[in-house]
Amino acid sequence: MLMPPTSKTLGTERFYDRVAGLLMRHAARMEVAGNMGVIADRNVQIAFAFLDLEPTVTAATARLYRAAAVSFIARNPGPMDEDAEAILAPEPTETDYIQQEQLDRKRKTNLTVLRGAQQKAKWIQTADWDRLLRALTESSSHWAQPAVHWIMATLITGLRPCEWKSACLLGTQLQLMNAKATNGRSHSLERTLDLSRLPEAQLKLIGGFICAFHRSRTPVSC
């Protein structure tokens, strides 16, 4: 029986359900094209749809599709789930490395053109940051200065946007809740960043932003 991770949030399950919907739509197209065979079980169809899509997407996307299929099937069991599991999580064999090499070759052939999120830059150049910060500084918007503080504090610390709500600066120690602590994606629920090597001005900027952030939400002492 396929077992889903026990720490998934409701939002993660909803996202997985949307991905499972994508797999079901692909299964329907395979059926119309005559590539599905005589398979009436929905969960087995999802598994075969994943198998068909796996060589056409990146390894990271394939892992996401597999996790979504496993989660959806575990929460929506059917009479042929053992067959679905054999497709999604086959037993290890001595020829696994050969199958992986074949998959890698197919993926390399299919992914000759960057698509979707693959086309997005993974960073912003320093000159672009300078232009953005200068434009915000010169803006008369009420949110311009808080945005500058947020961007600068984030560039210094590397925090994810949602992690600021739990951030607390105690001296030179920045304590916060990990954003990716669900599904075993992090080593712990919390982490502490040692900022003792930062210049005093940067520490003050981070502390000031945290205070301003909490004041905008609830009145707390900093």
Distance between CA atoms of residues 222 and 219, nearest Å: 10
Query: Is residue 220 predicted with pLDDT exceeding 50?
Result: no
Distance between CA atoms of residues 99 and 205, nearest Å: 52
CA 193 to chain centre: 22
Q: What mean pLDDT comes out for the span 162-180?
A: 91
Q: What is the mean pLDDT of the chain?
A: 83
Closest CA to 45 of 23, 14, 19: 23
Instruction: Report the range of poorest mean pLDDT among 3-12, 112-121, 141-150, 170-179.
Output: 112-121
- The two three-digit tokens of residue 189, written as one number: 């629920």
Q: How many residues does the chain have?
A: 222
CA 26 to chain centre: 22
What pLDDT is attached to residue 149? Answer: 92
The sheet with strand 168-170 has its strands ordered as 168-170, 173-177, 190-194
pLDDT digits over 51-109, tens only?
888 888 888 888 999 999 999 999 999 998 898 998 888 766 667 777 778 777 877 77
What is residue 16's three-state secondary structure?
helix
Query: Is residue 190 predicted with pLDDT exceeding 60?
Result: yes
CA 6 to chain centre: 17
Distance between CA atoms of residues 34 and 29, nearest Å: 9
Cβ atoms of residues 46 and 73 within 8 Å: yes
φ/ψ of residue 154, rounded to 5: -70, -40
What is residue 170's three-state secondary structure?
strand
pLDDT digits over 14-41, tens only?
999 999 999 999 999 988 888 777 778 9
What pLDDT is attached to residue 189? Answer: 86
- The two three-digit tokens of residue 5, written as one number: 């991770």
- Percent of the chain residues past pLDDT 70, beyond the cut: 82
Phi/psi-derived region of residue 99, left when phi > 0, alpha when psi is between -120 and 50, beta in every other case: alpha
What pLDDT is attached to residue 40? Answer: 82
